[in-house]
Amino acid sequence: MTVQPLIHARGLVKRFGDFTAVAGIDLDVAPGEAFGFLGPNGAGKSSTMRMIGCVSTPTEGTLSILGMDPVRDGVKIRARLGVCPQLDNLDPDLTVAENLTTYARYFGLPRAEGRRRAAELLEFVQLSDRAESKVDPLSGGMKRRLTIARAMVNQPDLVLLDEPTTGLDPQARHLLWERLFRLKQQGVTLVLTTHYMDEAEQLCDRLVVMDAGRIVAEGSPRSLIETHSTREVVELRYGDTPLESLRGKLDGVGERIDVLPDRILLYADDGDAAVAEVHRRDLAPSSVLVRRSSLEDVFLNLTGRTLVD
Ligand SMILES: Nc1ncnc2c1ncn2[C@@H]1O[C@H](COP(=O)(O)OP(=O)(O)OP(=O)(O)O)[C@@H](O)[C@H]1O
Ligand SMILES: [Mg+2]
């Protein structure tokens, strides 16, 4: 990497007692990148984010954020970070606008400047009409947008988003993606965690796939799919037929077979040709879907498990 990375980690480890949550990871995030951690529950995503956010001390390894040491320069680093934690921690006693202006004062902005900034950010996350409302009556998606607005109060160089859209309905997720995409276009460096492969595909230039505290693959969404899966995937369903009994009969159709509890996945560059072969073997399924490979398939291929169970 020719430019100085905003985040640089080597052999980064986080232990809680004798449990290892992050088992020695290497990372470089460049300015302007949208970088993701994709992994299932317990993979170590939040533990990593908290170290990057300077609220948790690495147990071992090297970590530098914005060229500084998080242990020695935590205060200086945090002044240039925007953080959206996994669980919203908005102040329920304050109004929507006050949640932002209070934060602005915390960063030393003059009152008038804080109010101006709050109004601008509420506009950006489409919450201007809720400015005087308390936090509690807001929907999950609105709270998430407010937390993101709050993370932007100090005009951060680096924004950390821990599962920005978990638990939101599709419409709320798409609105958030669109706003995050705009931030990225403005040149803000985004680091996010997710266990939604579509989110990772939509937002991330580059991502690491994490499992059990380790990085199991790294690259752009496209390159990960090219390296770790076939072009297409065929999903076969067989009603009540025990699927394991079909594994042998499907042997050699496509490059690889995964038998899941409710369906069989056939990995093939040409899905339609694979379906034709399934029919030729008299193994007509009750339903069939041919689709492009996704990051979910990459994860399954690398770990033998699905991202969201
Ligand atoms: N403060 C803590 N003390 C003890 N164990 C912890 C602590 N924080 C996290 N862990 C454990 O470390 C592992 C990784 O947790 P972490 O929160 O980093 O995972 P995650 O990838 O963010 O998962 P999720 O998708 O559920 O948010 C888990 O097994 C968790 O129980
Ligand atoms: Mg987490």
Q: Which two tokens stand for residue 127?
A: 């919450």
CATH assignment at residue 236: 3.30.70
Atom 16, ligand 1: residue with shortest CA distance: 44
- Quick check: is 15 in a domain? yes
pLDDT per residue as tens digits for the range 241-268: 899 999 999 999 999 999 999 999 999 9
Distances (CA, A) of 148 to 70, 72, 180, 185: 22, 27, 9, 16
Number of structural domains (the chain) is 2
* Per-residue H/E/C for 167-181: CCCHHHHHHHHHHHH
Average pLDDT over residues 131-157: 94
pLDDT per residue as tens digits for the range 195-214: 888 899 989 999 999 999 99
Residues with CB under 5 A from ligand 2 (ion): 45-46, 86
CA of 47 to the centre of ligand 1 (A): 6
Whether 41 contacts 305, CB under 8 Å:
no
User: Which has the closest alpha carbon to 221: 306, 302, 270, 294?
Assistant: 294
- Quick check: is 305 in a domain? no
**Test site for ligand 1: of 45, 55, 84, most ligand atoms within 8 A of the Cβ:** 45
Instruction: Look at residue 114 in the predicted model and tell me its pLDDT.
Output: 96
Please list every protein residue whose CB sits less than 6 Å from any atom of ligand 1. Answer: 16, 19, 21, 39, 41-47, 86, 195
Long-range residue pairs from 100-104, CB within 8 A, at least 24 positions apart, any chain = 100/146, 100/149, 100/150, 100/153, 103/150, 103/153, 103/154, 104/153, 104/154
CATH assignment at residue 61: 3.40.50.300
Average pLDDT over residues 177-189: 92
Same domain, 82 and 213: yes
Atom 30, ligand 1: residue with shortest CA distance: 42
**Test site for ligand 1: of 12, 13, 18, 19, most ligand atoms within 8 A of the Cβ:** 19
Instruction: Look at residue 309 in the predicted model and tell me its pLDDT.
Output: 64
User: Which has the closest alpha carbon to 9: 53, 65, 57, 55?
Assistant: 65
- Quick check: is 308 in a domain? no
Q: Which domain holds residue 265?
A: 230-292
Same domain, 160 and 206: yes
Same domain, 90 and 213: yes
Same domain, 125 and 208: yes
When pLDDT is cut at 50, 70 and 90, the band that residue 2 belongs to is low
CA of 189 to the centre of ligand 2 (A): 20
- Quick check: is 126 in a domain? yes
Same domain, 129 and 210: yes
